[in-house]
Amino acid sequence: ETGVTQSPTHLIKTRGQQVTLRCSSQSGHNTVSWYQQALGQGPQFIFQYYREEENGRGNFPPRFSGLQFPNYSSELNVNALELDDSALYLCASSLARGLAAIDTSTDTQYFGPGTRLTVL
């Protein structure tokens, strides 16, 4: 069983640029969630994708967007980077049977190691 992987490990961008972060889900998982973790803070939910459709979004502006592909890998895109976007970006994959059901046996989220983004 392959765990969640993310790329790149870290990167540096300048204000106003655009960035794409990638996540490969754990084998068999159909749901991916993205989180932003600022220094000294807990992760903050950005959005979630379930079977290639956005399934909920946190309090983040539209310049944060995502994709989920048929193989359930995912991308997080951030446009017009701001200094406050500097953070660790985490993705987490899980297996969900449905949008509303709470499946305690299968909906554990497995986190990737994160991508450290620095905006100068």
Partner 1 sequence: AQRVTQPEKLLSVFKGAPVELKCNYSYSGSPELFWYVQYSRQRLQLLLRHISRESIKGFTADLNKGETSFHLKKPFAQEEDSAMYYCALSGAMGAQKLVFGQGTRLTINP
Q: Near partner 1 by CB under 8 A, which window of 10-18, 19-27, 73-81, 98-106?
A: 98-106
What residues from 25 to 54 belong to the interface with partner 1 (CB under 8 A)? 31, 33, 35, 40-45, 48
Q: Near partner 1 by CB under 8 A, which window of 8-16, 19-27, 66-74, 110-118?
A: 110-118
How far apart, in whole angstroms, are the C-alpha atoms of residue 72 and residue 59?
24
Alpha helices in 1-120, H assignment, sequence order: none
| Among candidate residues 94, 89, 96, the one with its CA nearest the CA of residue 113 | 89
Nearest distance from C-beta of residue 76 to partner 1, angstroms: 15
How far apart, in whole angstroms, are the C-alpha atoms of residue 60 and residue 110?
22
Q: Near partner 1 by CB under 8 A, which window of 7-15, 68-76, 77-85, 89-97?
A: 89-97
For partner 1, what does the binding mask look like between residues 53 and 72, x meaning CB under 8 A? --xx-x--------------
In the structure encoding, which two tokens stand for residue 27, read together? 């084998």
Element spanning 68, H or E: strand 64-68
The residue type found at 45 is: F
Cβ nearer to partner 1, comparing 19 with 92: 92
Sign of the four-CA dihedral 57, 76, 61, 12:
positive
Which chain residues interact with partner 1 by CB under 8 A?
A: 4, 31, 33, 35, 40-45, 48, 55-56, 58, 90, 92, 94, 96, 99-100, 102-104, 107-114
